[in-house]
Every structure is written in C-alpha cells, then in structure tokens.
Amino acid sequence: MSIIKQYIEAGISEKVYDFGEKALAPLKERFEKIEKTAELNQLKVLNAMRKNRVDAACFNISTGYGYNDLGRDKIERVYADTFHTEAALVRPQIVCGTHALAVALSANLLPGDELLSPVGKPYDTLEEVIGIRDSKCSLKEYGVSYRQVELLSNGDFDYENIKKAINEKTKLITIQRSKGYQVRPTLSVERIGELISFIKKIKPDVVVMVDNCYGEFVEEREPSDVGADMVVGSLIKNPGGGLAPIGGYICGKKEYIDRCAYRLSAPGLGQEVGASLGVMQSFYQGFFLAPTVVASAEKGAIFAAAIYEKLGFKAVPSSWEERYDVIQAIELKSAEGMSAFCKGIQKSAPVDSYVTPVPGDMPGYDSQVIMAAGAFVQGSSIELSADGPLREPYAVYFQGGLTWYHAKIGVLASLQEMVNAGLVKL
C-alpha cells in the first residue's frame, strides 16, 4: 500500500499531504542541525551512565523505606553528571513539574524571604504555589513575599527594574525558561546565563532556580552550565523520554538539593528514603532515549510552525527562528480554531483516538483549558499533545512526539480538521 493511501486511511487527504510536503522541503537544513545537537546530548547521557557503572542491578525493585536502593542513588548521580551539578534529586515521589518546583521553592525559602521572578508571570499552576492566587499552603501563607519584573515589550530583560527589585529580603530568583501559556519567546541558555551573571553581580549569595521544563536537551548546554544554582523539571516531559511513568528532578548545588530532599521526605531522612517501586528501568531507559525523542519533538514543532505560517497564522517561535524548547505556540484566532486543531491531534493519538477534546476547568488554571493528549503516560507532554486556555489570543500550544513521523501525522491531522471546519483553505 502506498503512503498516500495510508494517509487517506488515516483521514488525511492527498491535498493536505501535498501541502505538508511543500512546507517540509525547506526544513532539511534545520533538521540536520537538530540531529547534531541530539548526537552531542546522547554522548553526554551515555558518558554519565558509563561513568557511574549502570548495570542490571540498578533496575531492581525496592519497597518500603527504600534503604540502599542502588538504582535510585545511581540515577541521581547520572543526572548530576549530565547536568554538571554537585547533586540531584530524581524521584517517582515527585508527581509532576509543578510539584518539583514547589519542593525546590518551599525547601529554600523561609518566612520573611522574598521570591523574585525577573521574567514576568510564571506558569499558571505556580500562581497558587506562590500565592499570586490565594491557596492553602502557598508560599504567601507561610510568610514568603513575591514580586515580579515584566519583560520589556520586545522580550528583553528589564535590567533597570530587576536591579531595583533585588533587595535585602530577596532570597531566591526563579527564571522560567519556557513560555508557558504566554506568547513570548522562550529563553535561550545563553540569555539565561547573561541574566544570572547580572543578578549575581548585584547579590552574589542569592539562589537562582531555573524552571527547565520543556527545554532539556534542546540545546548543547543546560542552565546549570551557565550559573543556575538549581534546575528543575518533570520526567513526563523531555528527560523521561516518554517512558518514565511519573517523576521529577531537581539538580544543583548540594546544599540546596539536601534541603529539597528533606522537604520531599522529612527532616533527618532526606535522600536516604524513598522506594523506587519498580520504575527505575523506565527512568534509565527514558533518559537514555531523551535526546532523540526531544529531537523528534523539535522537528514536529518546526513543521507545525511552517504549515500554519503558510496559512497566515502567527507562530511563536517562527519556523526559521532558533528553538530553545519543544513548545510551539500558534495563534489560531478563535476558540473554534483551537478546538479543530486539538481534535486533529487527538485523532492521531495511539491512545483514546476516538475521544473528542472539549474545553473544561482544570486544577491550577483560571480559564477553561482544552487539551488533546492521547498518551501512554497520562499528561505526558513529551508525547504528542496540544492544549491551551480559551482566552485571547486563542493560542494553542503544541508539543511532543516520541517519533518525528508521529509528530508529522499529528500536524497534518490538525490541518485536516481546520480544513474540514472551513477555517482554512488550501
């Protein structure tokens, strides 16, 4: 059977397929560059695993307290060596990226301290963690104050007001690498390094934490290579490689990671406890595959940008700009456009492909959100997915794809649904 017939069987017309092939043709050079970065990052991960003598015993199951869990202890050394940090906390007890960030923040901020974001408002789910929106057990409730400095209209850092905002109470500075639900540029590692250098000159002892979600392995360096004291992320995003069923990581200086471990378990226990419960093989294998999986997701994001730019929609970043994470924002101009796009992504899923995504209320969000995510691991953003809050500018955030081919199919299916709904003409 020809590939065209297979696409038609998948509900994608020959006209849509041809449109996609024309958009794909100029992207070859971009894709080759992505492959080179993946090759370098693959070497980093492999060398860390070899250095730490990973073996089959690392995949054994521990239960209860999890004392002397060899696999758990070694995966943390593998992460620390890959991210070039003194220590790491990599645990299935960390349930998501928001949880990892909450642990890092609450462990290293005390009553009377102040948290500063020099890159504007953080991701929606952190608003309640911080106390921007009132919530029980927020940092605000425990006496931690918060302030933020908006980015300038062109996306640059407002260095003048950042300097003014840093004061004697400023204990920790959080930098969100990815755009979240904002149509603003993702921060490159280079720009993050420049910001950290500026901050450290003003207050050398301030703790700088980078929310690294969606950015791991996109570049040759990580924020920990340019001065970040902690980098934090989720294992059901980039570093889990689509195999980790749960978990999060915090890498950084030992004194801060020790505090995170005490906050996650209990004072006096720290990293000594925490059973791996049989997930270690997926943690290791997912991390090993992560550089190539991330490369596939990047290709899919660039392809989506190229497709929708040709149709007159705004893509952030554009198909020709450098990428610093796997998220592709596309402004679809209407709630109907978001629904059609997400419908196509859902139809392309290996799991729950028959489900139609509809907007709904989500914990941690102040707007209704539509989500398309037929994933092997629930909520895994490194698998093919698309989501966004139903509010101006009606931007859908597309990400993931364990393989480039699946990402390509998903993008074409989203376009087919846009065509079917009469929202675009080819």
On average, the pLDDT of the chain sits at: 95
Q: What are phi and psi of 39, to 5 degrees?
A: -65, -45
Answer yes or no: are the C-beta atoms of 178 and 327 closer than 8 Å. Answer: yes
| pLDDT score recorded for residue 364 | 63
Mean pLDDT of 373-399: 92
The more confident residue out of 361 and 226 is 226
Residue 67 corresponds to which tokens in the numbers above?
């004392």
Most distant CA pair in the chain: distance in Å?
69
* Distance, CA of 278 to CA of 244 (rounded, Å): 11
Residue 97 corresponds to which tokens in the numbers above?
């990226």
Choose which CATH entry (3.40.640.10, 3.40.50.2300, 3.40.630.30, 3.55.50.30) describes domain 63-279.
3.40.640.10
* Distance, CA of 284 to CA of 55 (rounded, Å): 10
Which tens digit of pLDDT belongs to each residue from 157-176?
Answer: 999 999 999 999 999 999 99
Report the run of H or E that residue 418 belongs to, with start and end.
helix 404-420
Which tens digit of pLDDT belongs to each residue from 326-367?
Answer: 999 999 999 999 999 999 999 999 999 999 999 888 776 677
* Distance, CA of 72 to CA of 89 (rounded, Å): 9
Residue 147 corresponds to which tokens in the numbers above?
């302030």
Which tens digit of pLDDT belongs to each residue from 75-91?
Answer: 999 999 999 999 999 99
Which tens digit of pLDDT belongs to each residue from 83-119?
Answer: 999 999 999 999 999 999 999 999 999 999 999 999 9
* Res 312 pLDDT > 90: yes
* Res 14 pLDDT > 70: yes
* Distance, CA of 234 to CA of 248 (rounded, Å): 4
Answer yes or no: are the C-beta atoms of 153 and 97 closer than 8 Å. Answer: no
* Distance, CA of 391 to CA of 368 (rounded, Å): 8
**In terms of residues, how long is the chain?**
426
CATH architecture of the domain with residue range 3-41+288-420? Alpha-Beta Complex (3.90)
CA 4: distance to chain centroid?
34
Beta bridge partners of 250: 89, 232
Mean pLDDT of 41-54: 98
Domain boundaries, the chain: 3-41+288-420, 63-279
| Residue 396 confidence class, pLDDT cut points 50, 70, 90 | very high
DSSP 286-331: HHHHHHHHHHHHHHHHHHHHHHHHHTT-EEES-TTS--SSS-EEEE
Evaluated on CA atoms 386, 21, 41, 323, the torsion sign reads: negative
Report the run of H or E that residue 210 belongs to, with start and end.
strand 207-211
* Distance, CA of 283 to CA of 90 (rounded, Å): 9
* Res 307 pLDDT > 80: yes
